[in-house]
Every structure is written in structure tokens, then in C-alpha cells.
């Protein structure tokens, strides 16, 4: 059996851990620069606040209903995620972390039937008690069915946070009640295509023949079809990696016109791309830098920087990618008369890191570079993100996000640790 642990309204739950007064009250978390709603508590959903809705559109609703508003605090969320995953790992022989708030656990051989259900319910209670984060657990023979089960566990309180699909009868009933657009692995385009052919539920989907599914949705859709029928055929490491990774940011107010400020921002963007490449065990062969002024400010001078560098040897090394991105910015910098409103770094031509094509003329000691990166990652994992950084990343805050509602970094910053007065 496979379990999917999914943190409920994760970003909102992280904020509530340190502000218990917000329990059972509406809470939302905003995106970068406080632009859009990216997380909602159940109470906020009930008010009609939609995911991705611009904040200015719901401002009156927020004020009227005293909704608690927070800017994104990724340092806090990342550390809380680490704590949840650490506790989850004590309940299963292996764990595959799928995202910041989701993980698959191997429950094979642990228990069966009611005994397994009791084991899972104890686990849910332990995670809530140990971290303050409520989780939902879906248990089934395949990852896709576990995803289905977790949705039911989250939706119905009577399940006590755990839904288990362990019989054919339960599988059929679950699929008959599950919308095809909510199935893991069925994207928006595929969903529309299936609905055009009269497929509205996951049960309708599995009634189709294997040949029909492959012709309609290729081998990827066929795998989803097989998983919904109870055949485990998707390994986490087999999931497709991203074809490109972009880290970018809009700058506050009018923008930035000093090279040192934009340089520092670009260095941090490249560093984040490098980290994401290593996390998914990939390397890139191309890197693109871009920066541009606001197209809405016609009263200001306009400029657009766009530079792509193709690498001789694919890499995910932080020093190499930061150096390339910053060099590209310096080469294309035109002066302080331009106010750049947004900048970013894109890494692409991505491939697995276990099959790198070298070069006879490569002057870099790749083995030494890899060992250094691994050591830096281990130190940062233990002591906090960016404990060790490239000097170009700096500590300036001029380019940082607009975050008028940000909470404290309770678990990673000594200055923000909660004080208890007795």
C-alpha cells in the first residue's frame, strides 16, 4: 500500500501554528509582491475568495470579514515542511517528497485493514501534535489512487484525516464520485478532450479501452489509466522533470537603476535556479538572463535586456551559473537612466545529471565542483537556506519583494523566536 500525506492549506496552516487566535478564522496568503491570493483557509474559500485572484479585487471583502492577510514567508514554510517530512519519515521505511506539502510513503507490509487505518490515524494525530500542521492521508495500492483518497480524506471530517481505498468496491465508488479534471496526471487540455468524449468522472475514464486511452493521451495517459485500475506503474523518480526553470521577480516602486542592486538580484535568481536543478537531479545546457523596464511607464526611458548563453558542458553548479548570469548583465548594462522593473534567470536545455556529455577542452574540475556543491547543500540543509552563499548574492534588500504583511521567521531566525513570559 502507498500513502500520500498532504498538508491541509499548508501556507495558511504554517501561519496559524504561531498565531493560534486565527484558528477557525479566514486566512489568506499572497504571492510575490503581495499581488494575488495563493493560499486560502477553508473559511476564506467559503467567503468566495478564489485561488489566484488579485488582492486588490478582494480587499473590500477582506476588510469587511476581518480576513487575516499574510505575505509569502517561504523561509518559514520551507522549514515547517522539513519538520513535517522529518516526522513522516519515522512512519515508513521509505518516503518520496513530492512537493513542499506532499509526500508519498511506502506502507507495504506495515499492516492491513483496520489495523493499518488505526496506524495512519495515529500518524495524522502525531504530525498535528508535533508540528501544528494538519494533514490528510490517502492510502491505496497506487500513487494515483492515493491522490484520489487524500482528496476524500481532506473533504470529509468523518474520515478523521485518513481515507483508505483497499477493496474493489471502495475503488469503484471513489472513482464514480471523482471528477476527471481532478485526477493527478490529467491536465487541463486532456480534461477538455476527455469531457468532449463524454468522460466526466474517473470511473468513465477507466471504462475506456487501453488502446483508446493510449491513442488519445499517449503513454502518459495510459499510465494514469492503469494506476486508476489498481496497477502501480508510476515511480516518483520517473516523473518528468521540468523542461525549463525560471526564477524572476518584479521590483518594488518604480524599479531599480543601480547595477549593484540588479546584479545582486540576478545572482540570487541564478542561485535559486541552480538549487532547483540539483533538487531534481538535472543539469542545464543553456541559461538566459532578462531584465526590462515597465512598459506601462511611457514617461520613462524603455529598455529590454535579453541574453542567452549556451554551455559547452551542462551544469547545475551555483558558482558557474551565478557568474554567467551576472557577466551577461554587466555586458548589456546601459546606465542608470533606466529603471528596471523586472529581471529573471531561465535555465533550459535540461537533462538528467547522470548522463553528462563532457568536453576535451573543459577547464573545470567537475568532480571537485560537484563535491563542493554537495557539501554546501548539506550545510545549508542543516543550518538554513543561504547560510553559505556566493558573495555576489550579497545582503542588500533594495530588490526584495514588497511584503507588507509578512510574518516572522519563527523557526530560523533567533531574533524572531517566540518569547514566553511566566
The residue with cell 501534535 is: 129
Residues 75-113 as b or e (16 or more Cβ within 10 Å = b): bbbebbbebbbebbeebbeebbbbebbbbbbebeebeee
Q: Is the pLDDT of residue 223 over 70?
A: yes
Tens digits of per-residue pLDDT, 291-301?
999 887 778 88
Percent of the chain with pLDDT over 70: 95
Residues 28-39 as b or e (16 or more Cβ within 10 Å = b): bbbbbbbbbbeb
pLDDT of residue 164: 94
Confidence of residue 161 (pLDDT cuts 50, 70, 90): very high
What span, in angstroms and rounded, lies between the C-alpha atoms of 164 and 290? 48
Confidence of residue 237 (pLDDT cuts 50, 70, 90): low
Averaged pLDDT of the chain: 88
Residue 202 CB neighbour total at 10 angstroms: 26
pLDDT of residue 373: 82
Q: Could you give the domains of the chain? A: 1-144 (3.30.70.270), 167-236 (1.10.150.20), 245-393 (3.30.1490.100)
According to DSSP, the residues that pair with 69 across neighbouring strands are 28
What span, in angstroms and rounded, lies between the C-alpha atoms of 149 and 135? 13
- 386 is written with which cell numbers? 543561504
pLDDT of residue 420: 82
pLDDT of residue 174: 94
Q: Is the pLDDT of residue 302 over 90?
A: no
Whether residue 80 contacts residue 65, with contact meaning beta carbons closer than 8 Å, is answered with: no
181 alpha-carbon distance from chain centroid: 20
Tens digits of per-residue pLDDT, 88-128?
999 988 888 888 899 999 988 888 888 999 999 999 999 99
- 47 is written with which cell numbers? 467567503
Q: What is the pTM of this model?
A: 0.73
Amino acid at each position: 500500500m502507498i500513502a500520500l500525506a498532504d498538508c491541509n492549506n499548508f501556507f495558511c496552516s504554517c501561519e496559524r501554528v504561531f498565531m493560534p487566535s486565527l484558528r477557525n478564522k479566514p486566512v489568506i496568503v499572497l504571492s510575490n509582491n503581495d499581488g494575488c491570493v495563493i493560499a486560502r483557509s477553508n473559511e476564506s474559500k467559503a467567503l468566495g475568495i478564489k485561488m489566484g485572484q488579485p488582492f486588490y479585487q478582494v480587499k473590500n471583502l477582506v476588510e469587511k470579514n476581518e480576513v487575516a492577510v499574510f505575505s509569502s514567508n517561504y523561509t518559514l514554510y520551507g522549514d515547517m515542511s522539513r519538520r513535517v517530512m522529518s516526522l513522516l519519515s519515522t512512519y515508513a521505511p521509505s518516503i518520496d517528497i513530492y512537493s513542499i506539502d506532499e509526500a508519498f510513503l511506502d506502507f507495504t507490509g506495515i499492516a492491513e485493514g483496520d489495523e493499518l487505518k488505526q496506524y495512519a490515524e495515529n500518524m495524522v494525530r502525531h504530525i498535528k501534535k508535533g508540528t501544528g500542521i494538519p494533514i490528510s492521508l490517502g492510502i491505496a495500492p497506487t500513487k494515483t489512487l492515493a491522490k484520489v483518497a487524500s482528496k476524500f480524506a481532506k473533504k470529509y471530517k468523518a474520515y478523521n484525516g485518513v481515507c483508505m481505498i483497499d477493496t474493489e468496491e471502495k475503488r469503484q465508488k471513489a472513482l464514480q464520485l471523482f471528477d476527471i479534471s481532478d485526477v493527478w496526471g490529467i491536465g487541463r487540455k486532456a480534461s477538455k478532450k476527455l469531457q468532449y468524449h463524454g468522460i466526466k468522472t474517473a470511473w468513465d475514464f477507466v471504462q475506456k479501452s487501453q488502446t483508446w486511452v493510449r491513442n488519445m493521451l499517449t503513454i502518459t495517459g495510459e499510465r494514469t489509466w492503469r494506476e486508476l485500475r489498481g496497477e502501480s506503474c508510476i515511480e516518483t523518480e520517473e516523473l518528468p522533470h521540468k523542461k525549463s526553470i525560471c526564477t524572476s521577480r518584479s521590483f518594488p516602486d518604480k524599479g531599480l537603476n543601480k547595477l549593484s542592486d540588479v546584479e545582486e538580484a540576478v545572482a540570487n535568481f541564478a542561485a535559486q535556479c541552480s538549487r532547483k536543478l540539483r533538487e531534481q537531479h538535472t543539469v542545464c545546457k543553456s541559461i538566459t538572463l532578462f531584465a526590462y523596464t515597465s512598459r506601462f511607464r511611457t514617461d520613462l526611458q524603455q529598455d529590454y535586456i535579453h541574453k542567452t548563453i549556451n554551455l559547452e558542458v551542462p551544469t547545475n553548479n551555483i558558482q558557474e551559473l551565478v557568474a554567467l548570469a551576472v557577466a551577461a548583465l554587466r555586458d548589456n548594462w546601459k546606465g542608470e537612466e533606466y529603471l528596471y522593473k523586472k529581471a529573471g534567470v531561465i535555465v533550459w536545455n535540461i537533462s538528467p545529471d547522470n548522463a553528462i556529455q563532457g568536453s576535451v577542452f573543459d577547464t573545470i574540475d567537475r568532480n571537485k565542483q560537484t563535491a563542493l556543491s554537495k557539501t554546501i547543500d548539506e550545510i545549508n540543509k542543516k543550518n538554513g537556506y543561504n547560510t553559505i552563499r556566493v558573495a555576489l548574492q550579497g545582503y542588500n534588500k533594495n530588490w526584495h519583494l514588497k511584503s507588507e504583511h509578512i510574518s516572522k521567521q519563527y523557526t530560523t531566525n533567533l531574533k524572531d523566536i517566540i518569547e514566553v513570559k511566566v
